[in-house]
């Protein structure tokens, strides 16, 4: 591990302590990765890639020390909740459509059978061949 890498890790740890104490100096003070990176003077991608262990530690400390859910986790939970509602609505709609298909198929069968009965009673011209009705 080079000196620059070690310096970044030290700055990140100090930034964690400041954010969790509510004493932000270089960020908006939110308890997220972007604020942590800004507070530490590190690019947020570097924090996500090179210092992922510290990012995870920060989120764990946010949960334990502030009893709060990190912003990214809160957004993911909201998205999951919305997707579950969407799935439930789609399942209900699919069931309604299946019932409608069944009803329409039964209606078509009844209409076909009625039309066949009417054709038996109707007079047939010389140039018309009767459509065979359902076999019973």
- For residue 123, the model assigns a pLDDT of 64
The beta strand positions in 13-95, using DSSP E, are none
Contacts of 131 (CB under 8 A, 6+ apart): 116, 119
What does the pLDDT look like over 40-82, one tens digit per residue? 999 889 888 889 999 989 988 888 888 777 777 788 889 999 9
Using DSSP, state whether 133 is helix, strand or coil: coil
- For residue 29, the model assigns a pLDDT of 83
Residue 5 CB neighbour total at 10 angstroms: 12
- For residue 121, the model assigns a pLDDT of 63
| Ramachandran quadrant class, 99 (left: phi over 0; alpha: psi -120 to 50; beta: rest) | alpha
What does the pLDDT look like over 19-42, one tens digit per residue? 888 888 888 888 888 899 999 999
Stretch (H or E) spanning 31? none
Residue with tokens 């620059």: 4
Backbone CA torsion sign across 71, 77, 80, 85 = negative
Domain residue ranges in the chain: 3-68, 72-121
């Amino acid at each position: 591990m080079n000196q620059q890498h070690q310096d970044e890790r030290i700055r990140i740890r100090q930034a964690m302590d400041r954010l969790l104490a509510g004493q932000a100096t270089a960020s908006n003070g939110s308890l997220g990765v972007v604020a942590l990176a800004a507070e530490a003077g590190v690019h947020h991608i570097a924090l996500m890639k090179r210092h992922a262990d510290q990012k995870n530690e920060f989120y764990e400390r946010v949960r334990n020390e502030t009893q709060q859910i990190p912003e990214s986790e809160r957004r993911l939970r909201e998205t999951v909740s919305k997707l579950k509602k969407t799935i439930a609505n789609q399942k209900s709609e699919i069931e309604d459509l299946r019932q409608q298909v069944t009803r329409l198929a039964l209606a078509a069968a009844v209409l076909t059978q009625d039309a066949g009965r009417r054709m038996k009673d109707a007079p047939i011209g010389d140039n018309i061949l009767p459509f065979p009705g359902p076999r019973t």
